[in-house]
Amino acid sequence: MKALRYAAIMSMLCLCCGVAMPAVAATTDAAPKAKAAGTQVEIRNFAFAPNTMTVAVGTRVVWTNRDEEPHVVTSAGKQFASSPALDTSDTYAVTFTRPGTYAYYCSIHPMMVGTIIVQ
């Protein structure tokens, strides 16, 4: 009976650890989490984040507009088709099938620039 109670306490402790660990990771490891996804570019505060991203050939990169303002993803060298104007929470995806450096900008706010490096 005593051993059973001990086991119950131990399993409660383990449960605590299991719950606590992901919660900490979610709040502090934003960068590694984005890296794991690998293909997400957020448009936030009139900037592309990450500003420069290196991906493997064949990667599908998805831009998501988190601003209240519309933004456009436009290839500086016309290497891929421009997005339509993206409203809040709209996404635009490009699959990069060739190695290269793909500079892009927002045609509404040309000071917003980013680069996708495909290897």
Q: Which is nearer to Cu ion, 63 or 96 (CB)?
A: 63
- Applying CB under 5 A, which of residues 49, 62, 82, 109 lies at the interface with Cu ion? 109
Binding of Cu ion by 86 (CB under 5 A): no
Nearest-5° Cα angle at 34, 26 to 79: 165
DSSP annotation of 58: T
Q: Which is nearer to Cu ion, 11 or 51 (CB)?
A: 51
Q: Which is nearer to Cu ion, 103 or 108 (CB)?
A: 108
Could you count the other beta carbons within 10 Å of the beta carbon of residue 96? 21
Using CB under 5 A as the binding criterion, the count of chain residues that bind Cu ion stands at 5
Return the residues of window 48-77 that contact Cu ion according to CB under 5 A. Answer: 71
Peptide bond into 84 cis (omega under 30): no
- Applying CB under 5 A, which of residues 108, 113, 115, 117 lies at the interface with Cu ion? 108
Cα separation, 97 vs 100, whole angstroms: 9
Q: Lay out the sheet containing 40-43: strands in order across.
A: 48-49, 40-43, 59-65, 91-96
Which residues would be at the binding site for Cu ion (CB under 5 A)?
Answer: 71, 106, 108-109, 112
